[in-house]
Structure 1
């Protein structure tokens, strides 16, 4: 492997390498949140029901959950850049197909199936390439800071951007916007170089891929069933857990037989990585859960439209952007464990402020201090959490851990969506809103507990990365 890495290049070269990776995370996060403000417009235009459009959103989450781990593993065999470009092309075709969809079926094919497959293929390479190219802690923190900032902005500002596009043009224009961004990313990706050559001889664990996909689909279905039937939710979660246990046993059996499994069981024996994964899951749950719950409250209880709701959410977007882009400076000054702990504390404080202000003031701008704190807190900890997990393993394990990491984050996003859905079905009131936010605060405390248990010193691979 060449000794000269991106972290030693001049700033213009750094930006050229980082731009497509950050934009890829932005558009995938945008796609996961902007469609929620277009549900009514899509259902009317396609002559379907709100529930039908929600099915499309659900299937998108299921496809991502099912394919993220296999998508990460395929990067070892076919190369990270090739998988990234393939994912971008599939995603772009799906976006264009969604833009011209004459009915719900074509929308599900384009948005849910093709965009879901594209996301599962392109997101793992984003994190693998960032880890491989930016080898020292400071430059990697800078890179992940930019990526997580754009990812957070995509998720937080998705409702505003989607609402504006829908109001000014059409919901179809939002998918054209996605396709245009994909075209820009593909053009920028010509500057990317894969630090590791692909290994076509690497085997692919098809049985493991099927079992992991089935288990994760059942878990996500269980999470999303929370707003319909508690018993169905519990049954699906239990069945998903059994299939994932079967998956884990198959991994061990293949290792004992000397064959390469989809995931090495040693990934689950790394204490630092496991704790980091818990914090990642909690962070994305807090981001999506607070976003959807507050958006539902503003639109259903207070009667705001998508644009007004998106404007209020600008506070969270600005807070997240401000702290994410300072990740490099923060990484030089504070241990990653400290940053993650501080992020959870600030986010929990933001939730408390939101609950207090929503009940005491009818002014919509009274919610902005709480949203700002949530954005600041999430921005502080998203980057170090990813860095802790990715840096816990050497280069040859990045395909596995990246797929696992993104699956865990997507499960957090799905659970956050389920919290919002449960509140909507229960008949949104101030009391129900407060209950949902208290639940999110408790989850924040769980994430904080995991952060407290993280080691004070960085993982060994993180310490020696710049010397490899």
Structure 2
């Protein structure tokens, strides 16, 4: 099927294609945040601690980040739709195992490992298929907007939906809910046709996949070890940095030898894309870090249950929905760079409000204005950041850049939960909340500074041939 024929489809057919793709992003983002409101219920039922649940959440996000690049590369070899369906199936099995988990170990197997692997297989096809099927610039922007918005809504509404299900039935039912959504997505995916045939001869760089995954895992594990041992933290961080350097040197050596590496080094020589990737990373770092920090604070320190905690998060969901509904109108009136800058400004302001208002009030609703601003700011800049990165490369590199983009975003999610969670857990009873939110505020300010360096005007699209070659 040619891209031009797809772009001429009636809008109803386009919507049939877009719905399962957007739902897939929604459920994966939902999985990353809904457990935040179940901390007390799950820790009691599974005989573990807040740190145990934090570890399960972080490992889930980390597995996604570590395997997203290989997952994107596998789509070339096995086909985008096939990888999407296999990923959905693995995710569904993981959700069902999580629902019946008798202890933390089985929960980590089902939720952290299997759901993480499933997500890494299914998310790259979502973005690659969107790029290939929606060839018209305007329709592609709207499609990315819908998918990014559903991802943001899933992350922001996860605490509310998870809280409702947990309070009404059980935390285990939240995983059954995920499995049911997966079945729905599989049924809806029958409308999707892969625009490009799979290439069984495509070479998969196994060594590069292992190095990239190990490097990312060591970095995040180093952060998680911060409250146990400074030497262990430093050792893991240094080891992770060295492995990632080894990964980069290995893919450069493969390119020079005429072999196909896991990632082309040309992806890292596009200044606009690099800046966009940094903004994506920080957006998800702030969103997931805030979600875990506020949810843990309300439940462990304030003693609120799952539904009470989830309801408070409706402020963030409302802000994100409001900005998502206006995304197309914003894009027509403002440049993508401007929207990213405004998004970080709103988000940083929201974090400042969370710090200022909570100290002056005993009611948890003092968190609402700050959460609303954070949700609104994230919603304003999610789609522009994705467009900036994806539009920096031609169609032949969409598989690679989609995997890298999703890996960077999910790495941000895992770093947010790891950094903020580690700070929070280390001092829940004496200023841990303020310290964690202050760290997230610093991240938001860094994101704002980086966004100022994004180019003005439209992002140029470059082909593989236009990319500078390594020496």
The corresponding residue for 2:224 is: 224
Deviation for aligned residue 1:231: 2.9
Deviation for aligned residue 1:430: 7.5
The corresponding residue for 1:252 is: 252
Deviation for aligned residue 1:261: 0.3
Change (3 A) 1:39 1:346: closer
Residues in 2 aligned to 1:142 and 1:402: alpha-carbon distance in whole angstroms: 17
Deviation for aligned residue 1:373: 0.9
The corresponding residue for 1:147 is: 147
Residues in 1 aligned to 2:453 and 2:362: alpha-carbon distance in whole angstroms: 40
Residues in 1 aligned to 2:300 and 2:52: alpha-carbon distance in whole angstroms: 20
Q: Does 1:134 align with 2:134?
A: yes
Contact 2:320/2:375 (<8 A) preserved = yes
The corresponding residue for 1:107 is: 107
Change (3 A) 1:101 1:291: closer
Residues in 2 aligned to 1:139 and 1:262: alpha-carbon distance in whole angstroms: 30
The corresponding residue for 1:408 is: 408
The corresponding residue for 1:466 is: none
Change (3 A) 1:356 1:106: closer
Contact 1:131/1:391 (<8 A) preserved = no
Render the CA deviation track for 1:396-448: whole Å, top value 9, x for unaligned.
Answer: 11111111111111121112112332333332358443333232222112111
Residues in 2 aligned to 1:94 and 1:417: alpha-carbon distance in whole angstroms: 21
The corresponding residue for 1:394 is: 394
Three-state SS of the structure 2 residue aligned to 1:260 is coil
Alignment of 1:51-450 (within 5 A): 51-428=51-428, 431-450=431-450
Change (3 A) 1:59 1:349: closer
Change (3 A) 1:133 1:344: same
Residues in 1 aligned to 2:329 and 2:347: alpha-carbon distance in whole angstroms: 20
State which drifts further: 436-445 or 308-317: 436-445
Change (3 A) 1:39 1:434: closer
Residues in 1 aligned to 2:201 and 2:275: alpha-carbon distance in whole angstroms: 33
Give the structure-1-normalised TM-score: 0.94
Change (3 A) 1:221 1:167: same
Residues in 2 aligned to 1:220 and 1:111: alpha-carbon distance in whole angstroms: 18
Change (3 A) 1:437 1:100: closer
Residues in 1 aligned to 2:5 and 2:240: alpha-carbon distance in whole angstroms: 42
Q: Does 1:32 align with 2:32?
A: yes
Residues in 1 aligned to 2:458 and 2:287: alpha-carbon distance in whole angstroms: 25
Change (3 A) 1:206 1:227: same
State which drifts further: 372-381 or 192-201: 192-201
Three-state SS of the structure 2 residue aligned to 1:453 is coil
Instruction: Give unmatched runs, 5+ long, in structure 1.
Output: 464-468
Render the CA deviation track for 1:237-274: whole Å, top value 9, x for unaligned.
Answer: 11001001001111011111100000000100000000
State which drifts further: 250-259 or 29-38: 29-38
Change (3 A) 1:51 1:290: closer
State which drifts further: 292-301 or 41-50: 41-50
Residues in 1 aligned to 2:43 and 2:301: alpha-carbon distance in whole angstroms: 22
State which drifts further: 92-101 or 104-113: 104-113
Deviation for aligned residue 1:6: 4.6
Deviation for aligned residue 1:159: 1.8
State which drifts further: 257-266 or 425-434: 425-434
Instruction: Give unmatched runs, 5+ long, in structure 2.
Output: 464-471
Residues in 1 aligned to 2:113 and 2:122: alpha-carbon distance in whole angstroms: 14
Render the CA deviation track for 1:205-258: whole Å, top value 9, x for unaligned.
Answer: 111111111111111212322343333222211100100100111101111110
Residues in 1 aligned to 2:110 and 2:353: alpha-carbon distance in whole angstroms: 40
State which drifts further: 47-56 or 305-314: 47-56
Change (3 A) 1:302 1:5: farther
Residues in 1 aligned to 2:309 and 2:5: alpha-carbon distance in whole angstroms: 43
Residues in 2 aligned to 1:202 and 1:407: alpha-carbon distance in whole angstroms: 21
Contact 1:62/1:221 (<8 A) preserved = no
Change (3 A) 1:31 1:444: same
Change (3 A) 1:169 1:60: same
Deviation for aligned residue 1:48: 4.8
Residues in 2 aligned to 1:345 and 1:397: alpha-carbon distance in whole angstroms: 32
Change (3 A) 1:58 1:85: same
Three-state SS of the structure 2 residue aligned to 1:4 is helix
The corresponding residue for 2:20 is: 20
Residues in 2 aligned to 1:49 and 1:373: alpha-carbon distance in whole angstroms: 31
Contact 1:137/1:462 (<8 A) preserved = no
Give the structure-2-normalised TM-score: 0.93
State which drifts further: 9-18 or 385-394: 9-18
Change (3 A) 1:43 1:425: closer
Provide the aligned length of Structure 1 versus Structure 2: 463
